[in-house]
Structure 1
Amino acid sequence: MSHAAPDPAASRIDADPAPLLHGGIVAAAQLRALGIGHLFTLTGGHLSPLFDGCARTGIRLVDFRHEQAAAHAADAMARLTRQVQVSAATAGPGVVGAAVAVANAWAAGSPLMLLAGRNPGATEGMGALQEAPQLDMLKPVTRMTATPGDLWRLPELLAEAAATAMVPRPAPVALDLPFDLLMGRMPADALSFAQGRGQSHAPAADPDAVAKTAALLRAARTPLLLAGSGVYWAGVEEALDRFVRETGCPVFANGAARGILPPDHPQMHNAARARALPAADLIIAVGIDFDFRLNYGRAPLIDPDCVIVHVDADPARLGRNRGAVMGVTASPRHFLTALAQAFEADGHRVPAAWPEQLAARDARAARARQDRLDGDGPIDHARFAAEAARFVTPDTVTIGDGGDVIAETAGAIPVGRPGHWMDPGPFGCLGIGLPFAIAARLARPACPVLAVQGDGAFGFNAMEIDSAVRAKTGFVVLIGNDGAWGEMRNFHDDIFGDANLDGQFLSRATRYDRLAEALGGHGERVERAAGIAPALARAARAAEAGVPAVVEVMLDPAARRPAGAVSGKAIAAAFGGGDPDAFKS
């Protein structure tokens, strides 16, 4: 019996399945559907499928010289956009390198998503290259960790992680991506993008809580509102402005809330906080953490009899370290809107003498900063900070990275917009300056970017100047060089004396300006105060051309900034029976 020959073309059409997508494309496509436009990373074989997926879906790879820097940059992008942003680290040492940045984001409350490359699941426990218990290490500093069991679950888990990172207050999340999962394939027509659980929000404020807070404010003589990072993430700019204009209540901001109201706002104060807090009889603390920055809510910074109303989207934060007369679980935006409405009908103004007193203190501090711009002698921290403050504009995104240099500069620089001041946060991680600056340039390309760093902090991720050059991201780096780990040198000296200061010094001969030039950036060293402003102007022109520019200012090595939150003398006295010299030989 004879048979007709088959038609090769027809059989190929009938047999061809839908195009197959590997796991890297599936992951990237889902990230793109979630609004992710950048992936901050450092190359590694475990991540190659993801890189291919990003190229195919239009996600820009921004590559760094260290995984810690890449994850710092994703953290910064998340803070600037108030949305989840993503970093990817290759297996083992890559994830461990990124873990410092994840911990920093955890302490700061930033929705960083870390995608961790991993050995194939088939070789788990066999000693594969770079195999490590990655998620176990990350669990204490993330809200969610997960490993997709198969490719079909990957989009759903990515969406779930993105939603989980945002509520009730932002926090990091991490997903392991085994290599065999990323290399697996699925038909394109079987892929559906997951929308996640959506971003749930904290409830509106209970009307009774709003009414009681309003009553407390009417009775107070020296009230103030403390706005913390939770206020920034809730987007309360309009609600806060409405409340303070109705009542005249003074506002102080810390953390990510700096810039939540413009610096010239009549109710916004800065320089007087250390004197205002002890005198306050009512503090409405919104999205604030009573951590070391506020002396844990205790005396002498805050009077034990001060009435505290603590408002936060996360009930676990209420009353932590400092008990509150009333703890309110609510969206800060909804709470402040309702509180403003409570005063619209019959009105109320804080007694005028109180905000006038605070405004006078702010004016004196501003005059003192201006006075520091005179003369051309040795440069101390105050003069350095004053020059930085004169350089910034309301549009400048300023990043603080260091010890003494930042402690002085943070209070001097006016922050013109929400999200226009960034620092490590309460974890105190050094080295964020350059990665944050790269992310800031990408997130806000129309805004000038200034990273203010100590010489020690700059050294942590100095090679990222190379990354900035390759990414064509121009910004200005202002380094205060005192040839030491200044804050820690003073701390050690205050407790144990100056007989043994091993490990506290760096070399003033190191030329950070020339390092910048060698890596393709612009660099200058300044040794006289009068040279700072012209050097910054030249650096700004280089940054506008897409070149990272370093201005290294040589600080007076004999200058010492008075201790702030961490005082060696106070600690020596506390452990030495009241004697600040008890540990000195």
Structure 2
Amino acid sequence: MPVRRAGTVRTVRPDTMPPIPQTSDAMSQLRTSSSAGIAEAGDSLATAPTPVQAPAPALVHGGTVVAAQLAQLGIGHLFTLTGGHLSPLFDGCDRAGVRLVDFRHEQAAAHAADAMARLTRQVQASAATAGPGVAGAAVAVANAWSAGSPLMLLCGRNPIATDGMGALQEAPQLDMLKPVTRVAALPLDAWRLPSVIAEAAAAAMVPRPAPVAIDLPFDLLMTRMPADQVALAGGRGQSHGPGADPDAVAKTAALLRAARAPLILVGSGVYWAGAEAALDRLTRETGCPVFANGAARGILPPDHPAMIASDRARALPRADLVLAIGVDFDFRLNYGQPPLFHPDAVVVHVDADPSRLGRNRGAVMGITACPRRFVTALAEAFEAGGHRAPGDWLQGLKARDVRAATARAARLVDEDGIIDHARFAAEAARFADVDADTVTIGDGGDVIAETAGAIQVGRPGHWLDPGPFGCLGVGLPFAMAARLARPQAPVLAVMGDGAFGFNAMEIDSAVRQRLGFVVLIGNDGAWGEMRNFHADIFGDRCLDAQSLSRHARYDRLAEALGGHGERVERARDIRPALERARRAAEQGVPAIVDVMLDPAARRPAGAVSGAAVAAAFGGGDPSAFKS
């Protein structure tokens, strides 16, 4: 994707700049504050009439213009780490009322902006200083790209005048970011800053959300211009995908009526389209069961009559029709292939992005449409014609949900038993289930694979995880963003001990900014999922790279940084510790509960099975590489 270069380098005298009629409240406020320092002549000094000179026009610099444009787009926070290239932008944020939320690493700052975008379903911004700052944030941008999140990264950059001369922290920033952004823009004129930012924000939302990046040369941020001649661009970057083709809706309705075991599979595209009310309407009309994937978890409440929370691996192979809406057939769904999907199942694939349709799994129909508009039209078709899916199909799936919930409850009986992954997950679920508004974040391997299945997500946008990129370390920055986006909701970050270590120092960032939340660490003293994967292939030798220390006191680290910390070694102590952590979080203090898991406990392999890999490459022998 080519770099967009907006405008050309030019020098314009303020007295020759043609007036731009459009202004905004944000710029008017900035213009007023900029003029406040102009002194007035005292009447007592006037002895004779003197010519009255018009006051000099108030000047604003490019950093102020950028911040005002962010505010114009409804962006109220800028997640960042300090850097000289960004100083004009920081000054502008102070003037424009955009709150700076600072971090100890640019990757964490960009993760937080990603989370804020997911929670608000609109573009959110992070800023990274030039060179290593942008490179540090690039991992988070790649994670947002894979998850389909409209993160806007504002990149500090050396002055255009020194471009290519070897300035401090000079780097090919946009070249690094182009593969994982929809727009990579370099404005070359300070007057173009508002329109470039607004255009990038709009592009970030369609056809599916995606990150964008904008280089901000330091000389543009320092350029001063008359405030009354700066025009901010309107809009909030919100766009809508295409409507539903009536013929496609009619054919889909006919397929649903003919199916004996239909299933609706909804993914992140349904969440971003805000289709929860339309989906509720459709399922109540048809009685068709629903499985939610990715960001769509919580799209319907757990007690909804059509919502199926567990046993997807048994339900999908039995479905004769799968209506996949806003879904990617990636590794999470076995690429749409057997044994997870029946080879003869009819698949109807709906997505706002036509390039996603039929990828990995061919579809009888691929329909390009906004998921909300398509689901609404399909519900209307059934209101007019009427139909119910076979009742025994839905009831059988609901019965499995009840059995799974009963099994989870049984794990809570033994208060003195070992703390394995299942017990840990059950306690996390019980804590999260106390309040349906709880925003839960999953960050890790085995402990999250177990916990994700145990927690019942009550509302859309109340479960966050890295997404298909699988980037560890999102837990603390996501929790900080969740606290800002949902100030009244409890926030729980469930993390593995390995994942916690990536951005552990962000506890300091949360303490300084009084952002309280609860962190529940499942500590097995290892990179558990990778240890099991490696051992399943090569045996127990050479596990050094898979091991961590059980002597590391993450609870004391939290206390040293000003947070609340506890270590738990018995199952009966998890719940009281979590309640104390909740009370600390309510006072604006981040709280860690470090739960020591049984080091001998092993969770059965899920998506990553070393035994299966060994057998595939070892001629069917899972022990072929252990000799």
Tell me the residue number matched to 2:384: 345
Tell me the residue number matched to 1:397: 439
Using the TM superposition, give the Cα deviation of residue 548 of structure 1 relative to its aligned residue in structure 2, in angstroms: 0.3
Using the TM superposition, give the Cα deviation of residue 566 of structure 1 relative to its aligned residue in structure 2, in angstroms: 1.1
**2:201 touches 2:236 (CA, 8 Å); kept in 1?**
no
Match of 1:384 among 424, 441, 463: 424
User: In structure 2, what is the Cα distance between the partners aligned to 1:11 and 1:494?
Assistant: 92
Using the TM superposition, give the Cα deviation of residue 199 of structure 1 relative to its aligned residue in structure 2, in angstroms: 3.6
Q: 1:13 to 1:198 in 2, by over 3 A?
A: farther
Using the TM superposition, give the Cα deviation of residue 187 of structure 1 relative to its aligned residue in structure 2, in angstroms: 0.5
**1:160 touches 1:197 (CA, 8 Å); kept in 2?**
no
User: In structure 2, what is the Cα distance between the partners aligned to 1:150 and 1:471?
Assistant: 35
Using the TM superposition, give the Cα deviation of residue 272 of structure 1 relative to its aligned residue in structure 2, in angstroms: 1.8
Match of 2:266 among 227, 251, 263: 227
User: In structure 2, what is the Cα distance between the partners aligned to 1:25 and 1:198?
Assistant: 20
Opposite residue 420 of structure 2, the aligned amino acid is D
Using the TM superposition, give the Cα deviation of residue 502 of structure 1 relative to its aligned residue in structure 2, in angstroms: 1.9
Alignment of 1:284-303 (within 5 A): 284-303=323-342
Tell me the residue number matched to 1:466: 508
Tell me the residue number matched to 2:354: 315
Tell me the residue number matched to 1:334: 373
Give SS of 2:108's match.
helix
Tell me the residue number matched to 2:477: 435
Opposite residue 334 of structure 2, the aligned amino acid is N
Alignment of 1:234-313 (within 5 A): 234-313=273-352
Match of 1:32 among 39, 50, 71: 71
Using the TM superposition, give the Cα deviation of residue 16 of structure 1 relative to its aligned residue in structure 2, in angstroms: 4.6
Give SS of 2:216's match.
strand
Using the TM superposition, give the Cα deviation of residue 196 of structure 1 relative to its aligned residue in structure 2, in angstroms: 5.6
More off after superposition, 8-17 vs 535-544: 8-17
Using the TM superposition, give the Cα deviation of residue 451 of structure 1 relative to its aligned residue in structure 2, in angstroms: 0.1
Is residue 179 of structure 1 aligned with residue 210 of structure 2?
Answer: no
Give SS of 1:344's match.
helix
What residue ranges of structure 1 are gaps of 5+ in the alignment?
Answer: 1-6
Is residue 572 of structure 1 aligned with residue 611 of structure 2?
Answer: no
Superposed CA offset, 1:173-231 (max 9, x none)? 00000000100111001111112696432211111111111111111111100010000
Using the TM superposition, give the Cα deviation of residue 346 of structure 1 relative to its aligned residue in structure 2, in angstroms: 3.2
Using the TM superposition, give the Cα deviation of residue 345 of structure 1 relative to its aligned residue in structure 2, in angstroms: 2.3
User: In structure 2, what is the Cα distance between the partners aligned to 1:462 and 1:159?
Assistant: 34
Opposite residue 200 of structure 1, the aligned amino acid is S
What residue ranges of structure 2 are gaps of 5+ in the alignment?
Answer: 1-45
Give SS of 1:577's match.
coil
Match of 2:523 among 481, 484, 492: 481
Superposed CA offset, 1:75-117 (max 9, x none)? 0000000000000000000000000000000000000000000
Tell me the residue number matched to 1:495: 537
Opposite residue 200 of structure 2, the aligned amino acid is A
Opposite residue 399 of structure 2, the aligned amino acid is A
User: In structure 1, what is the Cα distance between the partners aligned to 2:580 and 2:164?
Assistant: 56
Opposite residue 384 of structure 1, the aligned amino acid is F
Q: 1:9 to 1:82 in 2, by over 3 A?
A: farther
Is residue 165 of structure 1 aligned with residue 207 of structure 2?
Answer: no
More off after superposition, 573-582 vs 64-73: 573-582
Tell me the residue number matched to 2:185: 146
**1:167 touches 1:201 (CA, 8 Å); kept in 2?**
yes
Give SS of 2:598's match.
coil
User: In structure 2, what is the Cα distance between the partners aligned to 1:110 and 1:77?
Assistant: 10
User: In structure 1, what is the Cα distance between the partners aligned to 2:233 and 2:437?
Assistant: 37
Match of 2:492 among 430, 442, 450: 450
Give SS of 1:244's match.
helix
Tell me the residue number matched to 1:3: none
Identity across aligned pairs (percent)?
A: 80
Is residue 23 of structure 1 aligned with residue 71 of structure 2?
Answer: no
Opposite residue 264 of structure 2, the aligned amino acid is L
Opposite residue 368 of structure 1, the aligned amino acid is A
**1:415 touches 1:421 (CA, 8 Å); kept in 2?**
yes
Q: 1:351 to 1:127 in 2, by over 3 A?
A: same
RMSD over aligned CA atoms reads 1.4
Tell me the residue number matched to 2:407: 368
Opposite residue 506 of structure 1, the aligned amino acid is L
Superposed CA offset, 1:497-553 (max 9, x none)? 112212000000000000000000000000000100000000000000110000000
Tell me the residue number matched to 2:14: none
User: In structure 2, what is the Cα distance between the partners aligned to 1:167 and 1:85?
Assistant: 15
Superposed CA offset, 1:430-480 (max 9, x none)? 000000000000000010000000000000000000000011010000000
Opposite residue 90 of structure 2, the aligned amino acid is F
User: In structure 1, what is the Cα distance between the partners aligned to 2:394 and 2:612?
Assistant: 32
Using the TM superposition, give the Cα deviation of residue 66 of structure 1 relative to its aligned residue in structure 2, in angstroms: 0.2
Give SS of 1:550's match.
strand
Alignment of 1:93-242 (within 5 A): 93-195=132-234, 199-242=238-281
Match of 1:65 among 79, 104, 123: 104
Superposed CA offset, 1:392-446 (max 9, x none)? 1211000000000000000100101100000000000000000000000000001
Q: 1:140 to 1:12 in 2, by over 3 A?
A: farther
Match of 2:550 among 508, 517, 535: 508
User: In structure 2, what is the Cα distance between the partners aligned to 1:281 and 1:17?
Assistant: 74
Using the TM superposition, give the Cα deviation of residue 17 of structure 1 relative to its aligned residue in structure 2, in angstroms: 3.2
**1:156 touches 1:196 (CA, 8 Å); kept in 2?**
no
Tell me the residue number matched to 2:33: none
Alignment of 1:530-549 (within 5 A): 530-549=572-591
Q: 1:415 to 1:529 in 2, by over 3 A?
A: same
Give SS of 2:232's match.
coil
Is residue 419 of structure 1 aligned with residue 445 of structure 2?
Answer: no
Opposite residue 204 of structure 1, the aligned amino acid is G
Q: 1:14 to 1:228 in 2, by over 3 A?
A: same
User: In structure 1, what is the Cα distance between the partners aligned to 2:292 and 2:261?
Assistant: 17
Opposite residue 334 of structure 1, the aligned amino acid is R
Q: 1:259 to 1:192 in 2, by over 3 A?
A: same
Opposite residue 567 of structure 1, the aligned amino acid is S
TM-score computed with the length of structure 1 as normaliser:
0.97
Give SS of 1:147's match.
strand
Runs of 4+ in structure 1 over 4 Å off: 7-13
Using the TM superposition, give the Cα deviation of residue 13 of structure 1 relative to its aligned residue in structure 2, in angstroms: 6.1
Q: 1:541 to 1:276 in 2, by over 3 A?
A: same
Using the TM superposition, give the Cα deviation of residue 14 of structure 1 relative to its aligned residue in structure 2, in angstroms: 3.4
Q: 1:574 to 1:11 in 2, by over 3 A?
A: farther
**1:17 touches 1:187 (CA, 8 Å); kept in 2?**
no
Give SS of 1:322's match.
coil
**2:129 touches 2:157 (CA, 8 Å); kept in 1?**
yes
Using the TM superposition, give the Cα deviation of residue 12 of structure 1 relative to its aligned residue in structure 2, in angstroms: 9.6
